[in-house]
Amino acid sequence: MNDLLKMIMFDANTQWVLLGTVLLGVASGVLGSIALLRKQSLIGDAVAHAALPGICMAFLLTGEKSLLVLLLGATITGLLAAYCIQYIISSSIIKEDAAICLVLSVFFGFGIVLLTRVAQSSSGNKSGLNDFIFGQAASLVGNDVKLMAGAAAVLIFVTALIFKELKVLTFDPAFAKGLGLPTGFLNFLFLSLLVAAVVIGIQAVGVILMAALLITPAIAARYWTNSLSKMIVISGIFGAVSGMSGTFLSTLGQGLPTGPFIVVTATALFLISMLFAPERGLVTKWIKRMVNNKQLRNNKLLHSEKRSGYHEL
């Protein structure tokens, strides 16, 4: 534990990694809440899986493992996947769930084809592309983390800028259109933000579990409040806490992946919220009902006593 503290206090790289995962948690918590309310959470999952072929393609084309280039590739295929899903839904009888599932698995399968291709390419090694599947925050180095932290900060800033418009669009799309908001453009912008959040997260959390970072903190936050702005803040905090503790836990042992620990922490927060949140928590509700029942029983008792007294008179 002392070593860990020392590492956090003095090791610059660990501090950067920590900052990166915390900012990532905030960004995906914020965007995830809006995605949740728009019922688009699982699109994040598809986008995350679809990032794999983009990463491999970027590597095959440029032949170097520069994070910026790889993430650019991931963004392109991620956006392409998101559009494929929306196109399939809007122009055929295939429903949303099947479209998401289809796009997700086909893109990922294609990514694996490319990954095996990369493994045989002249450079010879998989060059750590495998890390993208499960995430390895510990393998992040200085510049990568700065890129990640910077991008996350930009995402949070942009979301704050267009928050009002997104809110209207989420709760009442028809009204938003009536107001003259560019709904098509806003949809595109939000989808791009979501893709960007997923893409910067995949190195730390991995493509498979990135969806959890979008969904779980948001659904946990939903239990604590009914106001969107509060929900976004709480979800951001939950995301940050999960990112932080996931990073800690994975540094405790050799070769432990970061992503799964982030997800487990986020799920623990979700369970606590589901059970104990004031007003909406299951246990809270149960206690309230118990108290209420007791009161009712007492009232009834009083009532019947009164009535019997009345009869005696």
Partner 1 sequence: MSYEAWILIVGSLAGITCGITGCFLILRKLSMLADAISHTVLLGIVLAFIVSQSMSGIYMLVGAAIVGLLTAVCVQMLHHAGIQEDASIGVVFTFLFAVGVILITMFADDVHLDVDHALMGEITFVPWDLVQWGFLPELPKAFLMLSTVLIINLVVIGFFYKELKLTSFDPQMAAAIGIPVLFIHYLLMGLVSITTVASFDSVGAILVVAMLIAPGASAYLLTDRLSIMLLLSALLGVAAAVIGYYLASWLDVSISGSMATINGIIFALVFFFSPTKGLISKKFSMKRLKVD
Q: 240 or 263, CB closer to partner 1?
A: 263
Nearest distance from residue 150's CB to partner 1, in Å? 27
Nearest distance from residue 266's CB to partner 1, in Å? 8
Sequence-separated (6 or more) residues with CB below 8 Å from residue 7: 14, 251
Nearest distance from residue 45's CB to partner 1, in Å? 7
CA atoms within 13 A of residue 251's CA, in its CB half-sphere: 23
Rounded (to 5) percent helix, strand, coil in the chain: 85, 0, 15
Residues that bind partner 1 (CB under 8 A): 36, 39, 41-42, 45, 49, 88, 91-95, 97-102, 104-117, 120, 130, 133-134, 208-209, 211-212, 214-216, 218-219, 253, 255-257, 259-261, 263-264, 267, 270, 274, 282
Nearest distance from residue 233's CB to partner 1, in Å? 19
> Shortest CA distance to 183 belongs to which of 197, 169, 200, 171?
169
3-class DSSP state for residue 181? coil
Nearest distance from residue 95's CB to partner 1, in Å? 5
Q: 101 or 158, CB closer to partner 1?
A: 101
| CA distances in angstroms from 261 to 19, 132, 213, 244, listed in the order given | 17, 15, 11, 10
> Shortest CA distance to 202 belongs to which of 160, 156, 147?
147
User: Could you please report the per-residue DSSP string of 194-209?
Assistant: HHHHHHHHHHHH-TTT
Nearest distance from residue 115's CB to partner 1, in Å? 7
Determine which helix (DSSP H) or strand (DSSP E) holds 175, and give its type and residue range.
helix 173-178
Classify residue 300 by burial, with Cβ atoms within 10 Å: 0-12, 13-18, 19+. Answer: exposed
